[in-house]
Copies of this chain bind each other. A is one copy, B any other.
Amino acid sequence: MTLDNIKEEILNSKNIIILTHEVPDGDAIGSSLAMYIGLKQLGKDVDIVIPKYSKTYSFLPCINKIKAEGKIENYDLAIALDCGDIKRLNGFSNYFENANCKISIDHHEANTMFADYNFVNPTAPACSQILITVLKALNIEITKDIGTCLLTGIITDTGGFKYQNVKPETFEFAAEILSKGVNVSEIYKKTLQTVSKEKFELRKRAINRIELLEEGKIAFTYITQEDEEQTNSEDHDGIVEIGRDIEGVEISIFLRQNDNNEYKISLRSNDYVNVSDICLLLGGGGHMRAAGGTITGVSFEKAKEKVISECKKHLHK
């Protein structure tokens, strides 16, 4: 069984490197730090290598142990966490490839099974949830610090227990973690609730521009490069959801100017429109209720017209 092999490889390794996906989110950082603390409990020599991460996560235990590069070339063992593809390893696939043994622990549906041992469960809402099982198999004690990291992963990857992929087990693990003294309220506040002044100003611009079209079934908004420069924020996370959450809206469209003639499109739907189909037509893709694409070489007005026109067609299908 994969879990037995993973356990054996970890116990037999001395030098271990932990890697995760590029532009790391709360689950990537949280599961990496939980694994780091757990392996230190076992007396391992561990490096955790992440070149750049958001200061949102600076409250996490052992965050200062994160390094921008590894200290040796050939680790006994490399563990990739929350990463579906070796290409997404932050440009650090060399450490992964050079390691004597390679383990991947992940929850992405499209995981390419790129390791020697792949412990992948696409039904888990967060890699951190899978990691609890691995840590327990290694008899690692789930301390308050490990729990804080794991709950950060679960909270950020489930939007605060609100996504469809939340399972009874998710709540069971949360209960167990809370019993170690972990403060769910603090984690929620630091990761999901607080916005920087800059992000607040950027969001405000997007909010003020929301247009409701097709009898309120389509919400449209946008952000330009000028907006990002003037507000000093590039953090457009969550903007497309503002339109989606207005009652009666089926499709929310968010256009973001990337370069002079390039527009990134984000689409969300509520109940019946498959926005992934729309994005496929626009050179992108995604899921039924959340997808994205890019429109290049046209003006803002043309880009807006094109995406709205496609959305209208799908709305009335």
Contacts and interface: CB of A to CB of B under 8 A. Distances in A.
Interface in A204-222: 204, 207-208, 210, 212, 216
Interface string A176-189: 10110001110011
Interface stretch (A58-66, A73-81, A87-95, A165-173): A165-173
A161 B184 contact: yes
A193 B161 CA distance: 13
B184 A178 contact: no
Contacts of A170: 175
A225 B185 CA distance: 34
A193 B208 CA distance: 19
A151 to B, nearest CB: 10
A207 B185 CA distance: 24
Interface stretch (A12-20, A32-40, A243-251): A243-251
Given A172-B171, A175-B168, A178-B168, A197 B246 contact: yes
Copies of this chain, complex-wide, total: 2
Nearest to A180: B168
Nearest to A176: B168
A167 to B, nearest CB: 7
Given A175-B171, A178-B171, A248 B197 contact: yes
A112 to B, nearest CB: 28
A162 interface: yes
A227 to B, nearest CB: 15
A178 B167 contact: yes
A160 B163 CA distance: 11
26 contacts: A160-B162, A161-B184, A162-B184, A166-B178, A166-B184, A168-B175, A169-B175, A171-B171, A171-B172, A171-B174, A172-B175, A175-B175, A193-B245, A194-B245, A195-B246, A196-B246, A196-B247, A197-B212, A197-B246, A197-B247, A197-B248, A200-B210, A200-B246, A204-B207, A204-B208, A208-B208
